[in-house]
Structure 1
């Protein structure tokens, strides 16, 4: 598998992208132990939607600690993976030694056009400043007739996904100014219809989208450690007002988490994501 050369973090495009790089810097170990388990749930459905199988050249964009890459490799695919965070890429390379892993970020991938039979991104569109430009790049590197499959978090969020945000709001900790939301002109409805329309707009064919719902089983301690360490956007919110602010959010989190406790004292958190797919258009005969 050839690339245009290994690269460092790709050129950052928007304030949102700058914020995302900060949110994930140095977070690989904590992410893998907490949020990483949550995000692994859609992997089998994601690979199935992309038609991943033996011998196919598969690109996993935003690989994180390598859950998707490992599953694709187990299917017999030839896997290339990228992540914008060097620590994530390093963990993925260790977890999937047969994969080629690069440090790279959308919307600039270090690959020639039409290089992959299938391209997958597990929640990667949640973390790019210009989703349409990112999707165009995924289309560029996927061969005509190849599949692209993506997951994103649905809006409105399921109750388990909203727990940490509710705790921050109850503690009076707002989203800080240096954690910008996506620009309105770059955003799109995080619904089945909205995500399908985004793929249609990108020129993909045979598009579709469906919801995935599941209960994530964890503990209060595990679920709290990521945001307390500043991981992801919610982590930057939680830690934005220093130690006192973190403690306020923690107290509200502990109270609100009681809604989700099972009989054994563990958390059962409902989550919902969207899985969309489409095929790169073949040239007219």
Structure 2
């Protein structure tokens, strides 16, 4: 595999900057959303007692902690030091290390299973990343990963619609992947990418659920600069930020439940494959 320097893109560099020091804000907001898929991810990877598991992009350690409860021998990595600090508290029995795709500090075929929960969204060269995950997986081992669907649930578009209504403009440096590295965010598109990376028996299905939260907690993620949507919000003038907040509360009314909380429909893709 190429070295991290050779493989890194401007997208990767922006991701490192975007997540620096934001572990706490992520865990309290969007991290709760991403935790929903952890059980299904581990089931898809067939993680059980004694499984040598690598959790790539562990974040606050949610998936790693759940795998430890199952009795797996867990190694977890993340590119952001503040995430690893949280993961050490949440998954104290896991081996936790700083590492960045597309190069991992492990031997070929070292793991029985590899999981990546909403990680492929955050790498500049997804195909290289998948090839690296395949490399560290033993023959016959299972890979399971999630990404956000290209056909988002209506709850996923709530904050982007609020920013759009306020006239917010995405900063140029937060641009999307190079088209040469991108792929269709569909079940067929993701499965095809896994196959191209050399994995076998690739399958993919859509997961849908309603994320339950409060209006204030859901806004707190972007208001704290979490993810691209948060950096986009913080890049606006104070007046545009205020307008976005106003539109957000207006649009959020469509998702309010009788108890005043929000039920936000989301859609993600869950893919599995073997080496």
Common fold by TM > 0.5: yes
Q: Aligning the two structures, in what range does the TM-score lie when normalised by the shorter sequence?
A: over 0.9
How far the C-alpha of 1:242 sits from its partner, in A, is 3.7
TM-score, normalised via structure 1 length: 0.93
What SS does the aligned partner of 1:184 have?
coil
How far the C-alpha of 1:244 sits from its partner, in A, is 2.6
RMSD: 1.0
Aligned residue for 2:9?
A: 14
Q: Following TM superposition, where does structure 1 have runs of at least 4 consecutive aligned residues deviating by more than 6 angstroms?
A: none
Which of 79, 96, 102 is 1:107 aligned to?
102
User: Are positions 1:26 and 2:21 aligned together?
Assistant: yes
In the aligned structure 2, how far is the partner of 1:56 from the partner of 1:264?
42
How far the C-alpha of 1:272 sits from its partner, in A, is 0.4
Determine if contact 2:169/2:236 at 8 Å carries over to the other structure. no
TM-score, normalised via structure 2 length: 0.96
How far the C-alpha of 1:220 sits from its partner, in A, is 0.6
Determine if contact 1:15/1:180 at 8 Å carries over to the other structure. no
In the aligned structure 2, how far is the partner of 1:103 from the partner of 1:243?
36
How far the C-alpha of 1:243 sits from its partner, in A, is 2.7
In the aligned structure 2, how far is the partner of 1:89 from the partner of 1:65?
7
Deviations 1:229-264 (A, max 9, x none): 111010011111143332121111111111111111
User: Are positions 1:199 and 2:186 aligned together?
Assistant: no
Which of 151, 154, 168 is 1:156 aligned to?
151
User: Are positions 1:271 and 2:266 aligned together?
Assistant: yes
Deviates more, 1:147-156 or 1:236-245: 236-245
Determine if contact 1:60/1:79 at 8 Å carries over to the other structure. yes
Aligned residue for 1:4?
A: none
Aligned residues: 271
Report 1:36-185 matches (<5 A): 36-185=31-180
In the aligned structure 1, how far is the partner of 2:86 from the partner of 2:21?
12
User: Are positions 1:233 and 2:228 aligned together?
Assistant: yes
In the aligned structure 2, how far is the partner of 1:243 from the partner of 1:85?
29
Deviations 1:201-243 (A, max 9, x none): 1111121111100000000100011101111010011111143
In the aligned structure 1, how far is the partner of 2:238 from the partner of 2:71?
47
Q: Which runs of 5+ in 1 are unaligned?
A: 1-9, 281-285
How far the C-alpha of 1:47 sits from its partner, in A, is 0.5
More helix by share: 2
Q: Which runs of 5+ in 2 are unaligned?
A: none
